[in-house]
Structure formats: C-alpha cells, structure tokens
Chain A
Amino acid sequence: MEDQIAVKIDDLTVAYDYKPVLWDIDLAIPEGVLMAIVGPNGAGKSTLIKAILDILKPIAGSVEIYGKPYKKNRALVAYVPQKGSVDWDFPTTALDVVMMGTYGSLGWIKRPGQKEKKAALEALEKVGMLSFKSRQISQLSGGQQQRIFLARALVQNASIYFMDEPFQGVDATTEKAIINILKELRKAGKTVVVVHHDLQTVPEYFDWVTFLNVKKIATGPVKDIFNDDNLTKTYGINYKVAITQ
C-alpha cells in the first residue's frame, strides 16, 4: 500500500545564531501515523516542529503539508506547544484557552460565537475537563493544563497534529488519557507527530519513529527501526543511560 505523504521535508537546515541545529533534513511523514521524534537534548526536536510550522525561518530547504507550503495549508495543522512556553498565570479560563483553537478558522476580527463555544465544550469533554471549564488556568494542575492544550488542538479540527513534549510534567493518569486520545486520532486517519523523551514507552505508544540528532538518523515503523543500532547512532554508546533516566 502506497501511503499518502502528509508532511514532506526537503533539505531543511535551521540555524540559531549561525550554528546549525538541524542539518539537511529530508523527511516524509506518511498520513495516518502516530510518530515520535526522539533524540538527545539539543538535538533540534522542538526546532524541527517549529520550522515545519513556520515559526522559525529555515536557512535552506522547504516544507510541504499535503503538497503545499505551510502558509497555504495551515488549516490542516494543529499545534500543541510546550506547556512551559506560556504564562499560566494569564487571566483567562480553561474554556477560553480551548476556544483559542477556533481563532485560526475565524480569521481576523471575527469573534467566536455559539458554534465555536459548542466545539470547545465538546473538546473539553473529550479530554475529561468539562467540569473545569470556568477554572482559571493557574488553578489547574500540570496534567490538567496539558489536557487543556490538547483540547485546544482538538478544536482546531486538523489533519495533522504536532505536539511538543505533551507528557512532560504530567501525572500517569493524564499521560494515559492523552495517549488514548492520540490513538483515537490515528484511528480516525489523522497524523500525529510527538516530540517524546521517554524512550521506554516508544514501542507501546507509537507506530512510527524518527531519530534525530542535528541530522536525521532514521525514520520508519517502530517495529522495524527502533533498535540498538539506531539508538546508539542517536544517543551515543551510553544510550542505555538515557533510557533509564
């Protein structure tokens, strides 16, 4: 079966202060996979997602989402940033944050209405946070905050989901809840790309994996390529330490 390609990355190079953090990446993400991006700290995992989403400007290369540049097809994409990247003491409620997921489709100036609210409430219910809808976001636990972020992405109603370390600082229950939702998304034919830290859970959670350390080391089905050889290439000979950490 020839899968359709959801995200195609060609010769992508990104540099911070003229130091390359991603180097000549070629990567094709097939439609309908649940993919982990793994690699040591500073390997450029978040950078890769940010470059795909046009948050960072690459110095070379191109990215296509279903055959078009990101700008043309951004409606097909949802993004969950790292939880730590925003100010959780911001004066707003859980429902309000989830509603932000509808802003993109609304475009400039137009305000969210009943339809958007209904979508947001449904997403909250899906992540099990409906009873917290009026809570101020600083009063939520780390896991709850992550669920809110996931709900916001669900509201975007996209075909491809990018998530930057969604399991960082969340409790075990939330982790399970999140992975179940991600698996559901895959079942519905969506593509999910997750920056992931915990190597031990890769085979259990994901069906596709990309090893990254400045360069792309390998990409493919977990069952085929998640092996000692690639782990060593990515993390060095001491990768077992990285796993147990």
Chain B
Amino acid sequence: MELKEYFEFLISDYTLRTISIGTAVLGAICGMLGSFAVLRKQSLLGDAISHAALPGIAIAFLIIESKNSVVFLIGALLSGLLGTFWIRGIVNKTHLKSDTALGLILSTFFGFGMLLLTYIQKIPNANQAGLESYLFGQAATLVESDVWLMSGVTGISFIILLLFWKELKILLFDPDFTKTIGFNTKFLDILITSFIVVAIVLGLQTVGVVLMSAMLLAPAAAARQWTNKLSTMVIVAAIFGALSGVIGTGISASSNNLSTGPIIVIVAAIFVLFSFVFSPGRGLLFREIRFRKNRRDLQLHKTLSFMYHIAKDHANISHPHAIKILNNFQGFTRKTLKQLEDKNYISLDGNMWQMTPTGYEKAATLYDQISKSDE
C-alpha cells in the first residue's frame, strides 16, 4: 500500500483511525514514563512486571469467564504488582541479587500464566479465543472505550508530571539530597512507579506481555541521545513512542497475520539504532569523527610545540631551521608539516621551515595550557 493511500484510508476508516490513535497515545505515555524508568535504572523491572501480569489476565478470565478488557487490566495490575513486591522482598530479605530476582519472577510468573492459558484452551465451550493476543499484542482488538481509557490515563499522568516535575527530577538525580530538603521521597517513588506499572498494563493488549518492556525503554533510550535536558528528553521520547505506535500499527494492519507487538518494537528499535549512530552530540558516528579530529589535532599540536621550543631560543622567531632537526621528534610527517603550513602556523621552504608569528602565538598559548594543567 502506498503511503498516501494509507493516510487517506487512515482518515476515512473508523476502525483504523481508532487503532492508530490508540497506539499513538500508548506510545506517548510509554515514552514519557519510560524516560523515568530508564533514568532510574529500572529498565528491566518493566520486563518483569509485564511478564508477571500474564497469570493475572488468565485468572481474571477464569473468574468472569468472558472477555472484558477492564477486568483483565485489573487482573494484570494485581499480578504485576504482586510480582514487583515479591522482587523487592527477595532483594531485601535474601542475599539473592536483583538480576536473579527479576529473572526468576518474570519467568516463573510467565510460566504459570502459560500453564493457565493452555488449561483455559482445553475448557470446552469457553469463550477464550483471543486471549493469546495478550502474548504479542493485537492492536486490532482495540475499541473506542480502550482508547478513551488510555487517553484518560495519559492525561492524568501528564498533569502529575507537570505538577511534580521539579520534585521528580530531583528525586531521579539525587534521592538523598531530595530527602534532606524535605520532600517525601517515598511518596514520589510510589507515584512514579505506579504510573509506570499502569502504563505497562495499558500496553499489554496492544504490544503484548513479551515485548512490552521494549516499548517502555526504546523511545526513552533513543530520545536520550538527542538532548541533555530532561524535559526535552521526555517530550522527544513521547514523540518517538507515538510514531513507533502509529507506524507499527500501520505496517501490521496492511499485512495479515502479524501481531502488532513485534512490529512496533522493530520500529522503535530502528529509532534507537538511528539515534545511537547519528545523534550529533552523543552518536557513535560523530564521536568517531571528533575522536579522529582530536587525534590529528593532537599530533599537529605536538609537532607545533616541539617547533616552538626550538624557535623560542632564537631572537628571531621566524629564523629558518632545517627539517632534519625535527627527526629527533617522532610525531611528524610530511603531511603534518603540510597541514601546519595550510593553517599558516609555519612556512616551508625546501628543506627548511620557519615559524610564522601566528604559529608562535598559537604554540605559546598551547604551552601555557599544558603547563597549567600540569599544576
């Protein structure tokens, strides 16, 4: 399908429009709250929570024996929270480390959930079709009321973020200090953690329990590369998240047989990859370029300061010297000399070189800097 066609379809088709708005809102809230998860080093907690939510959904189904996404949400929330508390309990009360606790809870809860799901499948006449969509997500199952719910939660969490922005920022950066100046860190901690859990649970229907954590991390990790400001990071992460949601849904809607979860995750991963490589401040590409340039400059500066030491012993700084005497110094090549000449620091004349006043001045400041940093 052509992109243009798709957008026309998007505007005209009610279902697709609903789904797209839903995934966009979901992406936005995940990006927003994911930024906090990433900065608090709770990246993998999301993974554990989302996996731990599966038995909750299955038990909710066993209790009400029909599909109702609000009841499922509550089930998921409860078992996700149970998993989270158990992880905390293991880390606090035993010598097991958090990585073990996370892996243990996510896999055993998930296994229990799968046990229940396969059990449910065998129940005759059960109205169970579609429960599997919680594994990898099926945006197509979103209806308008789901979208309203998501938008409502997103709106509330946005207001909370605005209200407590200053407090949350300082909690993230320096919790001890936050406590000393009189903010209730426990309250703030519970506030942000519960919103993260709610965002995860909201996304289960669309992205699925298996891949939900990526939806939380990827937009935030990508956004971090483009800015050094928390507010910008949160906004950019929300935009990346929304875009991943919409584009992912679009691709999955245009071809059959594809769960939305994996596609959205791939789109988000592409944002991450692109950001890692091409972001101007932190990106690997520009870092490499800067690194090479610095190394070249360092080479030039070394040569220049060596020349400076020779030149400054003469009354006339532009006194010509033989290139030969630079041989004691390993760092120079014809090329570096040429570059120094291009920068107008020295002038070359056959086998002789002489320093220009500009070069002398430059070398003198370099020398000062070096001796200062040696102090």
Contacts and interface: CB of A to CB of B under 8 A. Distances in A.
Contact of A54 (B180, B229, B233): B180
A111 B166 contact: yes
Nearest to B226: A91
B183 A108 contact: yes
B176 interface: yes
Given A74-B182, A104-B181, A86 B174 contact: yes
A112 B166 CA distance: 9
Interface residues of B, number: 27
B220 to A, nearest CB: 11
A100 B181 CA distance: 10
A74 B180 contact: yes
B146 interface: no
B174 A100 contact: yes
Nearest to A81: B176
B375 A173 contact: yes
Given A93-B229, A100-B170, A103-B166, A87 B39 contact: yes
Given A74-B181, A172-B375, A90 B176 contact: no
A92 interface: yes
A97 B172 CA distance: 12
Nearest to B373: A171
B179 interface: yes
B227 A91 contact: yes
Interface string B224-239: 1001111011000000
B86 interface: no
B286 interface: no
B158 interface: no
Interface string A220-241: 0000000000000000000000
A77 B181 CA distance: 8
Interface string A64-79: 0000000100100101
Given A85-B174, A103-B166, A109-B164, A92 B180 contact: no
A91 B228 contact: yes
Interface in B175-207: 176-177, 179-183
A106 interface: yes
Nearest to B229: A91
B180 A85 contact: no
A27 to B, nearest CB: 19
Given A81-B177, A109-B163, A103 B233 contact: no
B174 A81 contact: yes
Contacts of A109: 163-164, 166-167
A106 B167 CA distance: 11
A45 to B, nearest CB: 15
Contacts of B172: 90
A124 interface: no
A74 B180 CA distance: 7
Contacts of B224: 91
Contacts of B182: 71, 74, 104, 107
Contacts of B167: 103, 108-109
Nearest to A70: B180
Contacts of B174: 81, 85-86, 100
Given A91-B224, A109-B163, A55 B169 contact: no
Given A91-B229, A111-B166, A79 B39 contact: no
B112 interface: no
B228 A136 contact: yes
Interface string A40-62: 00000000001001110000000
B173 interface: yes
B163 A85 contact: no
A90 B169 CA distance: 10
B149 to A, nearest CB: 27
Contacts of B228: 91-93, 136
Contacts of A156: 181
Given A74-B182, A90-B39, A103-B166, A79 B173 contact: no
A77 B179 CA distance: 12
B177 to A, nearest CB: 6
Interface string B145-164: 00000000000000000011
Given A55-B176, A103-B170, A104-B180, 20 more contacts: A50-B176, A54-B180, A55-B180, A71-B182, A81-B177, A86-B173, A86-B174, A87-B41, A90-B173, A91-B232, A91-B233, A92-B228, A92-B230, A97-B173, A100-B177, A103-B166, A103-B167, A104-B182, A111-B166, A172-B375
Interface of A: 50, 53-55, 71, 74, 77, 79, 81, 85-87, 90-93, 97, 100, 103-104, 106-109, 111-112, 136, 156, 172-173
List 3 tightest A-B contacts by C-beta distance, closest first: A104-B181, A136-B228, A53-B180
